Amino acid sequence: MSAARHAPPPIAQQQYGSDQAGLIYSFCFHPDGAGAEIDSAQAQAWLRAPPDGDAFLWLHFNLANAASERWLRAALPLQEDFFEALRGGSNSTRIELLDQALLAVINDVAFSFGLASSDIATLWAHAQPRVLITARVKPLHSVDRLRAAVRGGAAFRSPAALLVHLLQNQADALAGIVRASGAQVDVLEDRLLAQRLDDQRAQLAAMRRSLVRLQRLLAPEPSALFRLLNRPPAWLDAADAQALRQSSEEFALTLNDLAALVERIKLLQEELAARLNEQSNRTLFTLTLVTVLALPINIVAGFFGMNVGGVPLANHPHGFWVLVLLVASFSLLAGWWAFRRQRGV
């Protein structure tokens, strides 16, 4: 009966991808760093009576299941600031101190140009000396990669090490986006040099908007990270602090590459706008020139079309050709003046 009571109902499993407690999966890490998967009942029993030694837990929750927050409040003494962060506020990437715990907000991207903004998902993490809590609404690739690493036998000696691995996964995803975007920009730049970029303005604009949004969401808040690295919690050892610092530096380099790519796209847009403006000016000049050249013909036709007496050259045997020569001369003079003025400009 106990096993049947703890088994997640099929409807909840199918709807949320989690059990009755909202837990998607959880791992218990032994002192040697290896992780073994456990269920919510085993995790609750571990939290009630933590074993001696350096073992710790990683619990990953689905916030789409309303039972997640209730289970967390009942099973763990978490700060209210963590639950406030889950319910709203800024979703920019950051790591900050909550008393002696770490609160991390990590954004992950299933990225493809032209997709909707819902492809950016947020992960909230709460790290204590022996427990790491992660929670999300939508699936994230970085967490799946971490789970695959744990199941593959990767060793993690602390919750902070798991958190650093999540940040590195995020940095790797962003680096992949920068590489893919850079390759697309190379192609567009070649097309611009070949004068074949007229139909790519919308793609450039969409690419730039997507990258700027990624830059805003994924860039860690430097002030919070600076305070954390200078005054880390007592349970964060030097190795974990150094790994966190190194991961932040690598992420900063990737963000610099992203900013350079955004600037490169901006320059391409400016070059394209300048070429289109030049083409528009050339077209406008051609239309103006045609109007100027046709003006003498229209004026003469208007005068000679008047059905009044005294029309000059009406009885002259070569009157028509005289007027043709006069109009042609005036048109050539006007064209010479217009082209001379255009070259002067």
Spell out the per-residue pLDDT of the chain, length 345, in tens: 333 334 333 333 434 466 788 899 899 998 888 888 998 888 888 988 888 888 899 999 998 888 888 888 888 888 888 888 887 766 777 888 888 888 888 877 654 444 434 467 888 999 988 999 999 888 888 888 899 999 988 889 889 889 888 888 877 877 888 888 888 888 887 877 776 656 677 778 888 888 887 777 776 665 667 777 777 888 888 888 888 888 778 877 888 888 888 898 888 888 888 888 888 888 887 887 778 777 777 877 777 777 776 777 777 787 778 878 887 887 788 777 777 766 655
Query: In angstroms, rounded to a whole number, what is the distance separating the alpha carbons of residues 31 and 139?
Result: 29
Rounded to the nearest angstrom, the gap between the alpha carbon of residue 298 and the centroid of all alpha carbons in its chain is 58
Contact 102, 126 (CB under 8 A): yes
Rounded to the nearest angstrom, the gap between the alpha carbon of residue 108 and the centroid of all alpha carbons in its chain is 10
Query: In angstroms, rounded to a whole number, what is the distance separating the alpha carbons of residues 135 and 196?
Result: 47
The whole-model pTM stands at 0.69
